[in-house]
Amino acid sequence: MVENRPWLNALTHLLLIFGIIVVIFPIYIALVTSTHEAEDILTTVQPWFGSEMLENYGTVLQKGKVNASGIPVGMMMWNSLIMALGIVVGKITISILSAFAIVYFRFPLRKLCFWTIFLTLMLPVEVRILPTYAVVANLGLLNSYAGLTLPLIASATATFLFRQFFMTVPEELAEAARVDGAGPMKFFFDILLPLSRTNLAALFVILFIYGWNQYLWPLIVTTEESMTTIVMGIQRMLYVADAIPEWNITMATAILAMLPPLLVVIVMQRQFVKGLVETEK
């Protein structure tokens, strides 16, 4: 598409701008709302920034919403961060190792193992939530970071992704390493892992956001307030009996909740795009 048609150019830009507005608008409203006093936004939507920004964010970070559990947002974000990172590290470690085993080792029932892993793609967390809960509860992992992360760690998607990547790595590379005297694990760490760098980055971003945005599972598995994650926290702030909903505080929390994923995306952007687009060999 290297056509040069001015009106087409204008049209495509217009479409893009429209799309961006659609996406940005709710975020803008949230940002604006978070800078007003609670009373100002009870009935209307404010179009422009108010004056309470510092105060609102200060409140949120230090005390949280007093009449809704009153957990400081900082603590919730810390919980979310640990959960997200736990899921990311766990998922990547397990999936890259299982993909390594499936691609490079000939063991009995290898195909079966792969397809079993692949099958779990069809069973998202929500489907297996009750049995998983029972297992976690029996193991005494309720209200713990282990309980939050462990059941979400097994990942067919990531395993599949790594498998596909490993299969594009020329077989001769593994053979050259064998001739060079590198055992399987040495080959994995010295050659396969560095080659997977961009894939790792892409998966890190995707899985971090996945982990950060977990809602249902943390809601079920945690009851103690000190284990609340930020996504649950936002929800809890909305429904408070016998009090005015403090939208400004809620929105401030929402904006804060957006920051870490945003940061991860910005920091890893280049590697991320490379990992999705390019197969570097």
Partner 1 sequence: MATVSIKNAIKTYPGNVQALHGISIDIKDGELIVIVGPSGCGKSTMLRMVAGLETVTSGDIHINEEWVNKKEPADRDIAMVFQNYALYPHMSVYQNMAYGLKNRKIPKDQIEQRVRETAKILELENLLVRKPKELSGGQRQRVAMGRAIVREPKVFLFDEPLSNLDAKLRVQMRLEIKRLQERLGVTTIYVTHDQVEAMTLGHRLLLMNEGRVEQIGTPLEVYEKPQTLFVAGFIGSPSMNIIPAVLSSNGDLALLGDSLSLPLTHSENSANSDSQVTLGMRPEHLEACESEKASMFLQVEMLEKLGADTVVYGKLEQTELVLTVRLSGIHPVVSGDRLPLTIPSEHLHIFEIDSGKRLN
Q: Residue 123: CB partners within 8 Å, gap ≥ 6?
A: none
Task: List the one residue out of 226, 216, 236, 223 whose CA is nearest residue 130.
Answer: 216
Residue 180 binds partner 1, judged by CB under 8 A: yes
Contact letters (x/-) for partner 1, 34-73, by CB under 8 A? ----------------------------------------
| Residue 162 or 217 with smaller CB distance to partner 1 | 162
Find out whether 231 and 213 touch, Cβ atoms under 8 Å: yes
Residue 109 binds partner 1, judged by CB under 8 A: no
Residue 178 binds partner 1, judged by CB under 8 A: yes
DSSP one-letter code for 267: H
Q: Contact with partner 1 (CB under 8 A): which of 23, 181, 241, 278?
A: 181
Find out whether 189 and 109 touch, Cβ atoms under 8 Å: no
Look up residue 193 and give its two tokens: 């892992």
| Residue 242 or 278 with smaller CB distance to partner 1 | 278
Find out whether 237 and 65 touch, Cβ atoms under 8 Å: yes
Distance of closest approach, residue 107 Cβ to partner 1, in angstroms: 15
Distance of closest approach, residue 200 Cβ to partner 1, in angstroms: 13
Q: Give me the phi and psi of 167, to 5 degrees please.
A: -70, -20
Residue 280 binds partner 1, judged by CB under 8 A: yes
Residues that bind partner 1 (CB under 8 A): 170, 172-173, 175-182, 186, 190-191, 194-195, 197, 280-281
